[in-house]
Amino acid sequence: MSFLSLFSKEENSVLGVDIGSSAIKVVQIRKKNGQAVLETYGELALGPYGNATIGQATVLPQEKVAEALVNLMNEKEVSVTTAMCGISIPFGSSLMSVIEMPAVSPKQLAVMVPIEARKYIPVPITEVMLDWSVIPKSDTRPSLEEEEARKVGVPNIPKVDILVVAIHNETIARYKDIVERSHLDAGFFEIEIFSSMRAILDESIKPVLIMDMGAASTKLYIVERGIVKTSHTINRGAQDITQTISKSLGISVQDAEVMKRRVGASGEDKTLLEIINLILEYIFSEANRIILSFEKKYNKPISKAILVGGGAALKGLAPIAQNSLKIETFAGNPFSKLSAPAFIEEVLRDTGPEFAVAVGLALRRLSEEE
């Protein structure tokens, strides 16, 4: 774990709180001379609060999550001084779908989308908070399906893609309870992918793959012009690597986690690299399948891949990912959007992928305080 307190704090400081499956991350920033300035950041493993080891995903009751969050904020090295924050909601606690609808007026869509969305939501619509937006057409290039339909004379009926997001009311209530127990002032709750996008994406208009490798799963998002066009969850993550190392080498999970973090997939230990690749090959095979499906549907290539999440801090991961995906691939560096002392630049770059969500949350809350 890495903690750092950088500056004396001011009243306009804001906090991003990322409650993940295996750890909580916080980032506190403030605005100075038109720039977002990093004040402090920190991470605390949740495993020990649920009789699990560091790095392992765990499901905790609200009071335990709040206890861990308060402990992290009160750590001497972190020393959070503001209650104003934004809170992330895990992608797995939401439902996100892209549905195709007729190109009708916004008023008509407002009536039609909730009805159509029921087909994709496995619970009554009254039990969720539903939001949706029209995905802008990036260009006039037809998809492969549209080209095939034109060739056989099928009439072209104007359609629009709608991004539908649903969060269960019980999930919102759970996070509100954590906020209240932690004595925080949460201005909003945001699904983690939107926080990551804010923290790591530039102004590129070409499709980008974001790979968020958490402890229990790896989330894939294909984003174009700031819109999530495709999302997919792979049920393999960083803890699967640790468990495979533990079983293959006959060592404890705790020792396997230490070895994974210290050596990783750097190639320094060939046997360890082979073990890690057992999980990575599955993840990247799934990623390639999602990429191929997107490129076939939209008739355009993915320009690059950005790695985020705790698992993305694995040494040697980016070159392996680039070789597997055959596109430019690198670890996200959300701290590049913040002003911080040059002497910690390398530390921030190495730990950056883990803090993408927390940085994105803090940036949004800061913009809302202006």
Q: pLDDT of 88-133, one tens digit each?
A: 999 888 888 888 888 888 888 889 988 888 888 888 888 888 888 8
The CATH code for residues 94-166 is: 3.30.1490.300
- Residue 140, pLDDT > 50, answer no
Say if CB 313 and CB 321 are below 8 A apart: no
Q: pLDDT over 70 for what percent of the chain?
A: 91
The answer for residues whose C-beta is within 8 angstroms of residue 292's C-beta and 6 or more apart is none
Q: Where are the domains of the chain?
A: 4-93+169-368, 94-166
How buried is residue 336: exposed, middle or buried, by Cβ count under 10 Å (0-12/13-18/19+)? middle
Instruction: With CA atoms as reference, report the closest residue to 253 among 266, 265, 238.
Output: 238
Please report the pLDDT score of residue 3 as a whole number.
Answer: 41
Q: Which residue has the higher pLDDT, 268 or 132?
A: 268
Tell me the mean pLDDT in the region 242-269. Answer: 94
Note the pTM of the prediction, 2 decimals: 0.86
Phi and psi at residue 50, to the nearest 5°:
-130, 30
Q: Count the residues in the chain.
A: 370
- Residue 32, pLDDT > 50, answer yes
Tell me the mean pLDDT in the region 319-347. Answer: 94
Phi and psi at residue 179, to the nearest 5°:
-60, -45
Q: Which residues pair with 339 in a beta bridge?
A: 37
Neighbours of 368 (CB within 10 A): 12
What digits encode the pLDDT tens for the residues 81-90?
999 999 999 9
Q: Using 50, 70 and 90 to split pLDDT, how confident is the model at 136?
A: confident
Q: pLDDT over 90 for what percent of the chain?
A: 69
Of 123-127, 215-219, 325-329, the one with minimum mean pLDDT is: 123-127
- Residue 160, pLDDT > 90, answer no
Tell me the mean pLDDT in the region 10-18. Answer: 86
3-state SS class at 278: helix
In CATH terms, 4-93+169-368 corresponds, of 3.30.470.30, 3.30.420.40, 3.40.50.10490, 3.40.50.2000, to 3.30.420.40
Phi and psi at residue 222, to the nearest 5°:
-105, 120
